[in-house]
Structures are given as C-alpha cells and as structure tokens.
Amino acid sequence: MSRRKTELKAEGFTVRSGMRNSVVAGPPAAGAFRERPSKATNFRKFYERGDFPMALMHDSKGNRIAWKGIHDLLDHGGSKILPVIPQLIIPITNALNTRNRKVICTTLKALQHLVVSADMVGQALVPYYRQILPIFNIFKNVNINSGDGIDYSQRKRENIGDLIQETLEMFERYGGADAFINIKYMVPTYQSCMIN
C-alpha cells in the first residue's frame, strides 16, 4: 500500500485501490445544524416569577404583551419615585411621540398620577418640560365635537384636549414657582389656573 493510502486509512478514510472504485467516507457531522437549547434569560426568569407588571394577552390577532400596574407602582412607590424621574423622561417622550391618541391619553393619565404620587415629583418634572410639552402643544386643541350626539369619551376620560388641559393645570399646581413660565414657553396658548 502506498504511503498516501496508509495516511488516509490512519485518518479514518476508506481507500480502495484504483480511482474508479475509490470510496472516501467524510468526517463525522460537526453538528452545525443541530438544535441547541437556549439558556434562560433574566427577562424570562423575571417574567415567569411574575416580577414584571405585565400579562400575555391572547386574541384573534395573536399574542401580545399588556403592561399593567403603573398606577400600583405609583401608589406604593413613595420615596423611590423621585430618584427615577430622569429615567422616565425618554419612555414618556417616546409614548407621546407615537401620536397615537389612545397611547397619549394613557400617558397623560399616568403623568397626572405621577405628579401627585410623591413630594417634589412635580418640581422634578419642570426641567423636562421641553421634552414632554411639544406634543401637548400639538394636541391641546383637539377636542371631539359630536354635535348633538353623546360624547362617551368624557366618561372614559379619552378626550385628548381635555386631558392635556388637566395635565397642564396639574403641572402648574405641583411644579412650583417656575412651572407656569416654563409651560407658557412651550404651550403659548396656556392660561394659568392659579391666577384666581
């Protein structure tokens, strides 16, 4: 047997004499396409423990996440709320910038609750009015005019113009001495609720 045939045989290849009858068995499968179980992420661990204020909603369009508990967090957060205000601004701004009226209404209700949730929170929001209030200025005068019909959005508190007015008034009441001037700068048509 030639030296090359001996080397190939030692490496696990089957070698037969002659090129026509040569059978060469390849190396074993490397397992590149074999499924590998994924490791449990921290998100999955926390979700399964129930640490997140959310639930999985099943409907005809598929599964989606429904976030819950923001008002519970604000009710029970106490002194832990004020230090995290800077971290809340980007999510608040992103929610308002969706320009989705339902999302904006939900965000406005959460902002109203946030302002009264703990001491000094209203004043802590004043420096962030430049990020939060531009959308208020755009939607401030958007009110539903149903004519002689019944407007159910008032009962559900989904009239965006009214919610913006309420939120601005709460910002002024709880924002301290500089709140009005900062609101007026960003929403020029706003009239003070504190003058009376």
The ranges assigned to domains in the chain are: 71-186
Q: What is the pLDDT of residue 114?
A: 96
Residue 4 has pLDDT above 90, yes or no: no
The 3-class secondary structure across 2-62, one letter per residue, is: CHHHHHHHHCCCCCCCCCCCCCCCCCCCCCCCCCCCCCCCHHHHHHHHCCCCEEEEEECCE
DSSP state at residue 66: E
Cβ count within 10 A of residue 157: 13
**Could you give the count of Cα atoms lying within 13 Å of 129 in the half-sphere of its Cβ?**
24
pLDDT digits over 20-72, tens only? Answer: 667 778 888 887 767 777 677 887 888 788 877 777 788 888 887 776 788 88
Q: What is the pLDDT of residue 185?
A: 94
pLDDT digits over 91-118, tens only? Answer: 999 999 998 988 899 999 999 999 999 9
Predicted confidence band of residue 15 (pLDDT cuts 50, 70, 90):
low
Q: What is the pLDDT of residue 148?
A: 53
Please return the burial class of 12, using the count of CB atoms within 10 Å of its CB with bins 0-12, 13-18 and 19+.
Answer: exposed
Is residue 92 within 8 Å of residue 150, measured between CB atoms?
no
Choose the weakest-confidence range: 77-81, 123-127, 143-147: 143-147
Structure tokens at 121: 């929170």
